[in-house]
Amino acid sequence: MKNTKKLVMILFVALMAAVLVACSNDSGNDNGANTDSETEKDGLKIVIISSPSGVDDRSFNQNNYEGILSFIEEHPNATVKDIKEPTGDPAAGVQAVADVVADYDVIVTPGFQFAGISQLAVENPDKQFILIDSHPAEVDGQTEFENVYAMTFAEEESGFLVGMAAALETKTNKVAVVNGIAYPSNVNYQFGFESGVNYVNKVYGKNVEIVELAGYAGTDVTGADVGGNYAGDFADEPTGKVIGNALIEQGVDTIFIAAGGTGNGVITAVKESDKDVKIIGGDVDQWEDGVNGSENVILTSALKVMDLNVERSLNAIVDGTFEGANVLLKADTDSTGYVKEEGRHQLSEDTISKIDEAYDLMQSGEVEPASNFNGHTPESFPGL
């Protein structure tokens, strides 16, 4: 009997100690301990819905995905699911988001075709949306949304710089740009590239031709013919290879690819050619993609730094500073540029010097290359 009473007393004391510890922990939350809501934010459930080329396209989609992965490295409780929308159709893209929006905290949508997610943002105010390469579509007169961070980039800046590189380094005086679909971001790249070539022709007295193939002209979102060499898809390597081979046959020796996975077909065409042809990568540093035996076919790459900005947005969600906005990201936020890191390009020092001089003029506003909707053309823009 005494033993029983003693056991009961021990259990009672242990129970009271546990209660006191729990109370102490509760009061400790006010002194900076992690709350349930903080843990929930740190464990974000993220989904990225990409175009048909997927998050392993070694280009646009992959760069956005890498931004998420970098965030998860610092926040291991967070998770990501990647979904490939197989058509690239805007209506199908929005429907793909609608199908999963209830299951995730953050929805990342890289591509102009996802502009229509704004309606879903209105209907799901507790979800955060990160939209790349587009502003959200208008909903009842509203164009900005508290839960949508929409980032667009001044691709014409990066395009201009590599257009200069192409014109300064070409041996045949024939260069070209290959694009995917004539969304504004892609036309920006094209017009920027053409502006850079025309700038070199005028300022440095060269006579470089921009080659366009009949039958591959692009039509932008307003229905305007923008020329260029558009494959009509961001995930069509065979067509990319066809265009690449046709350009090489025309004597082009420098090709800028702004075409997502389609650009990989152009790289293949260049690697298989017996001519000395160089590729300028698009969106990301594509040096590794250019390895061809002991050689490399990459001259340099145009940069659109999406991974860093996606990671910044996710961090803002976690730390409570996230604000919906439509932003244009430029060189002043390290969001555009070109590759000149030693061992990652094949540009001469003279070319780099000329490009950097023009870059300073671009930052000051003296040079403003053409873009899809800024009112300038590659043949007539401030600074030319």
pLDDT in tens, 286-310: 999 999 999 999 999 999 999 999 9
Say if residue 31's pLDDT is above 60.
no
Say if residue 19's pLDDT is above 80.
no
Q: Does domain 38-153 have CATH number 3.20.20.80?
A: no
Give residues with Cβ within 8 angstroms of 205, minimum separation 6: none
Evaluate if pTM is beyond 0.85: no
Which residue in 293, 265, 327, 270 sits closest to 131, CA to CA? 327
Give, in degrees to the nearest 5, the angle at Cα 325 between 322 and 328.
120
Dist. CA 237–CA 362, nearest whole Å: 34
328: number of Cβ within 10 Å: 12
Give the per-residue pLDDT at 52.
87
Mean pLDDT of 343-348: 98
Q: What percent of the chain has pLDDT over 90?
A: 84
Say if residue 106's pLDDT is above 60.
yes
Does an H or E element contain 49, and which?
Answer: strand 45-50
Say if residue 321's pLDDT is above 50.
yes
Give the per-residue pLDDT at 86.
93
Per the structure block, which two tokens stand in for 377? 């053309």
Give the per-residue pLDDT at 27.
36
Q: Domain 155-304+348-364 is of which CATH architecture?
A: 3-Layer(aba) Sandwich (3.40)
Give residues with Cβ within 8 angstroms of 215, minimum separation 6: none
Give the per-residue pLDDT at 28.
38
Say if residue 20's pLDDT is above 90.
no
| Rg of the chain in Å (alpha carbons) | 26
Say if residue 184's pLDDT is above 70.
yes
For helices 184-203 and 349-364, give the axis angle rounded to 10 degrees.
Answer: 110
Dist. CA 372–CA 367, nearest whole Å: 16
Provide the mean pLDDT of the chain. Answer: 90
Decide whether 38-153 matches 155-304+348-364 in CATH topology: yes
Say if residue 172's pLDDT is above 90.
yes
Say if residue 38's pLDDT is above 50.
no
Give residues with Cβ within 8 angstroms of 237, minimum separation 6: 261, 262, 264, 265, 268
Dist. CA 189–CA 282, nearest whole Å: 9
Mean pLDDT of 306-331: 96
- End-to-end Cα separation, the chain, in angstroms: 102
Mean pLDDT of 62-76: 97
Which residues pair with residue 279 across a beta bridge? 255, 298
Dist. CA 60–CA 305, nearest whole Å: 10
Mean pLDDT of 369-377: 97
- Per the CB < 8 A criterion, the answer to whether 273 and 279 are in contact is no
Q: Name the pLDDT band for 40 (thresholds 50, 70, 90).
A: low
Give the per-residue pLDDT at 2.
45
Say if residue 266's pLDDT is above 80.
yes
- Of 15-19, 131-135, 275-279, the least confident: 15-19
Which residues pair with residue 222 across a beta bridge? none
Domain ranges for the chain, please list them.
Answer: 38-153, 155-304+348-364
Dist. CA 2–CA 207, nearest whole Å: 106
Dist. CA 364–CA 341, nearest whole Å: 23
Residue with tokens 């070209």, as numbered in its chain: 176
Which residue in 43, 24, 57, 20 sits closest to 317, CA to CA? 43
Range with the largest mean pLDDT of 2-11, 272-281, 332-341: 272-281
Dist. CA 166–CA 209, nearest whole Å: 11
Give the per-residue pLDDT at 332.
82
Q: Name the pLDDT band for 36 (thresholds 50, 70, 90).
A: very low
Mean pLDDT of 219-245: 97
Say if residue 280's pLDDT is above 50.
yes
Per the structure block, which two tokens stand in for 306? 């999406």
